[in-house]
Structure 1
Amino acid sequence: MWFNIIPPYVIILGAIAGPGYALWWSHYFFLGNHYRRGNHSRWDRVMYSRDWRLTGNPYVVNGLKELPDK
């Protein structure tokens, strides 16, 4: 019958979507943020270290209020 295709479909869908959701939750557990921030280029590494220096957490959104007044 047509409903015999449902179990293999669920298994294949879980095998494809499972690792993505597992990474999403592991990033939250280890990094405190659901999304990984890549440091592939020099600019990304500079911005990461700048955000870390200014706020102590590079994953928060930084606005003008985070910059120190001179």
Structure 2
Amino acid sequence: MWFEILPSYGIIVAAFIAPTVITYGINKLAYGKPFRRNLRYEFERLSYMRDERLTGNAYKVQGLEAIKP
């Protein structure tokens, strides 16, 4: 019958959703924010963290005047 596919369907759906949920939880625990950029290189990660620390928002472009002495 048609309901015999439900267990297999549930396993496949769980396999596709699990990485997203696990990544969300790890980022929330480790960084305090649920979503982070996929920073593959050390320089990109350090630049991102510097921009966020100095200006409060790593994605909003701000010049040198935004840096507080």
Task: For 1:13 and 1:30, locate their aligned partners in 2 and report how far apart those are by CA, in whole Å.
Answer: 26
Alpha-carbon separation, structure 2, partners of 1:33 and 1:62: 17
What is the aligned partner in structure 2 of residue 10 from structure 1?
A: 10
Question: What SS does the aligned partner of 2:10 have?
Answer: helix
Q: Using a 3 Å threshold, how does the CA distance of structure 1 residues 45 and 11 change in structure 2: closer, same or farther?
A: closer
Indicate if the aligned counterparts of 1:28 and 1:35 stay in contact, CA closer than 8 A: yes
So what's the TM-score if we normalise by structure 1?
A: 0.62
Structure 2 unmatched ranges of 5 or more: none
33 and 49 in structure 1: CA distance in 2 versus 1, 3 angstrom threshold: closer
Contact 1:51–1:62 at 8 Å: present in 2 too? no
Q: How many residue pairs get matched?
A: 67
Partner deviation per Cα, 1:7-35 (whole Å, 9 max, x = no partner): 11011110222122111111011111112
Structure 1: stretches of 5+ with no match in the other structure: none
* % same residue: 32
Shift of 1:53: 4.3
**Cα RMSD, aligned residues only:** 3.2
